[in-house]
Amino acid sequence: MANWCHNGVRFTGEPEKVAAIMAFMEHTREQQEEHHNYELPDYIDAKNKGMVEIYAKGDEVHFRSAWEPTLKALCQIADHYGVGYVNKFEEPGMFVYGKVYYHEGN
């Protein structure tokens, strides 16, 4: 059984691009809840890309991932939409905590 990593992500960039990625995350949440479909688009090829229990709170998206934050998947999503992000994460079972900034591919 996985230890769960809690992620809080705020996407940054042009408002229309941030709105598009928030709509994508909402669509992903709906697919998970209504159809139990946990697949992400093919352009996301990260090994660790599982995001469950997705919800939006204000301008942030929150979700859980297994063992560690899904940083490569978040980078691929951000690059696809042309935005950056700040991800605050914690996995208290293994004492993993952090904050990652991603902007323009870095």
Domain that holds residue 78: 12-91
Let me know if residue 53 belongs to a domain: yes
pLDDT tens, N- to C-terminus, the chain (106 residues): 678 999 999 999 999 999 999 999 999 999 888 888 777 888 899 988 889 999 998 889 999 999 899 999 999 999 999 999 999 999 998 888 999 999 977 6
Let me know if residue 63 belongs to a domain: yes
Let me know if residue 83 belongs to a domain: yes
Let me know if residue 3 belongs to a domain: no
Let me know if residue 99 belongs to a domain: no
User: In total, how many domains does the chain have?
Assistant: 1
Strands (E), the chain: 4-12, 52-57, 60-66, 84-91, 96-102
* pTM for the predicted model, two decimal places: 0.89
Overall size of the chain counted in residues: 106
Let me know if residue 35 belongs to a domain: yes
